[in-house]
Amino acid sequence: MSLEAYKVIHIIAIFGLFIAFGAAGGSEKRVRWANIMHGICLLVILIAGFGMLARLGIVGGKFPGWVWGKLAIWLSLGGMLTVVRRKLLPAPAWMAILLALGGAAAWLGIMH
């Protein structure tokens, strides 16, 4: 698969992930589907991300720092669903955190 195809798949999964956060923060009826979509999108983001790394020639255990940063953000986004679902923070706070994490991931991906 080409680098561009991996990028498109990666971005579509990111959109899906943030839609899942919105659904989880909404009504209780949507929580089950939000959980499913959250997990699937996280998996697709990871697979497409590593596919892009392979196309860029970044293979093996020696990853640059920006890759480790993206993985840390990915893990944080995985845990944020609990914060959203259990309402551990008010909506404006978790929305700001999600925006900051998404922005940081975009910055790392573009500026590497």
pLDDT digits (tens, 9 = 90+) for 62-93: 889 999 999 999 999 999 999 998 889 999 99
pLDDT, tens digit, 9 for 90 and up, residues 4-57: 999 999 999 999 999 999 998 887 777 788 899 999 999 999 999 999 999 999
Number of domains in the chain: 1
> Do 104 and 77 form a contact (C-beta atoms < 8 A)?
no
> Do 48 and 14 form a contact (C-beta atoms < 8 A)?
no
Distance CA 15, CA 18 (A): 5
Residue identified by tokens 């551990």 is 88
The model's pTM is 0.90
Host domain of residue 81: 3-111
